Amino acid sequence: MKRTSIGALAAALSISLTAVVACTTTSRPIGEFVDVEPPPFIPAADGGDASTIELTSYCPSDRCPAGHTTCPGSQFLCDVDLLSDPQNCGECGNACPTSGINETYTCVNGRCTMTCQVSSGLDCDGVPDNGCETRPLNDDHCGACGNKCPADKPCINRGLMDYACGCNAGELSCPDPSFPIFPCVDPNDDDKHCGACNNACPPEGDGIKTALPNTYFGCVEGQCGEPKCNGGFADCDLVAENGCETPLLDSDNCGACGNKCQDGQRCGQNLQGVVMCMCPAGQTFCGVCAGESCFGGCYDLTSDKDNCGACGVRCSPGVQKGIEACVYGECQTSCHEGWDDCNGNRSDGCETHIASDPNNCGGCGIVCDGIAGQACVDGQCMVEPCDVIHDAGVGAR
């Protein structure tokens, strides 16, 4: 290592602070500094000369750092990360299995790792070759391996992939042959299973009571024959004689009694069937209205990918190595990490691998030293101390 006096260093720095000199066999610049500050003062070790510091010269390198290599199918030097590449996991050509419906395979620290989609499969036998072989709707492995259900409480889907042994407290399991997915019901107010499974309440009642306006006879507290409001109506004045007098698609009672919409809003039903005031500040209604009834949704046109800048304007769902997002009302491409759109052509998406391309290393137009065969790894042009390169000789490995 060269030792240079502080005075000589200051003189050299006063000549140029913009070039980094790389010591190859013919020293040449390999990059430029922006807003370079003088190097910090490094005190000498005890008993040493505090007027000197040590400098290390760096040169372009074509050697791959640990974990990276160049495989037979590589486009660039060192463009394969053996620790995370599912096509070259741990070594060139070692591809992880193809992900299926129940499982996903990824390369983690150079080993193929399987992850189960808990909603559709579990790996209960510990054998990776057969994937996630066990369905979660299973009396022996209900929602989790080893979770065995008793005979009187079979494994069921309580809703939204909530697999459990039997229903929640107070509920009954009453499978509907036409829709057996969610069998749990509340017998206190379920008109088809009132107090017990399959005990359906006749909507006309027992013929003795007269139905009030906008009402029918249904299940209340586990008993049939009680008046209930038809869908979309409510008893807001609490006067029993006039039944359910208030429509809930009304700007004064939107979805609930007394829920008044603000000026500029209309009461409507969104695409999920929820009645709400349309639309909150900053959102726009996209849909259709017929009289007082509106059917559609409220969207932020500055960021909604299906209504970008205007109702119905959709950003492209599929972009090579990226996605399209709605940014301030315009569809813009957002590239995946390590990729960029360097040719400005929207049709081919993010075509440039800036993590490995020595002509676009870390960004479009950032060029590594091609004469020295400098490699680009993780968006950085590779350098090593010049004496290490000279001792090892030139050549990628």
In a domain, 329, yes or no: no
In a domain, 100, yes or no: no
pTM for this model (two decimals): 0.58
Contact 246, 235 (CB under 8 A): yes
**Which of 255, 274, 298 corresponds to the end of one domain?**
298
In a domain, 132, yes or no: no
Kindly report, residue by residue over 67-100, the tens digit of the pLDDT: 999 999 999 999 999 999 999 999 999 999 888 7
Contact 94, 102 (CB under 8 A): no
- Among residues 275, 281, 271, the alpha carbon closest in space to that of 293 is found at 275
Q: From the CB of residue 58, how many other CB atoms can be counted at a distance below 10 Å? A: 18
Amino acid at 48: G
Contact 189, 165 (CB under 8 A): no
Distance CA 177, CA 159 (A): 17
**Which of 298, 319, 335 corresponds to the end of one domain?**
298
Distance CA 87, CA 74 (A): 12
Kindly report, residue by residue over 302-361, the tens digit of the pLDDT: 999 999 999 999 998 878 899 888 999 999 888 999 999 999 887 888 999 999 999 999
DSSP letters, 282-348, are T-EEEEEEETTEEEEEEE-TTT-TTSSSSTT----S-BTTEEEEEETTEEEEEEPTT-B--S--GGG
Distance CA 342, CA 353 (A): 9
**Which of 250, 269, 298 corresponds to the end of one domain?**
298
In a domain, 268, yes or no: yes
Which residues have C-beta within 8 Å of that of residue 33, sequence separation ≥ 6? Answer: 17, 18, 19, 20
Kindly report, residue by residue over 113-130, the tens digit of the pLDDT: 999 887 788 989 888 778
In a domain, 32, yes or no: yes
Which strand (E) or helix (H) includes residue 80?
Answer: strand 80-81
DSSP 8-state assignment for residue 353? -
Q: What three-state secondary structure class fits 377?
A: strand
In a domain, 339, yes or no: no
Task: For residue 321, list its beta bridge partners.
Answer: none
Q: Which pLDDT score is estimated for 19?
A: 35
Rounded to 10 degrees, the C-alpha dihedral 299/304/305/308 comes to 80
Minimum mean pLDDT range among 4-8, 142-146, 153-157: 4-8
Distance CA 279, CA 113 (A): 46
47: domain range?
2-63+386-392
Q: Total structural domains in the chain?
A: 2
Q: Which pLDDT score is estimated for 15?
A: 33
In a domain, 213, yes or no: yes
Which strand (E) or helix (H) includes residue 383?
Answer: strand 383-385
In a domain, 374, yes or no: no
Which strand (E) or helix (H) includes residue 264?
Answer: none
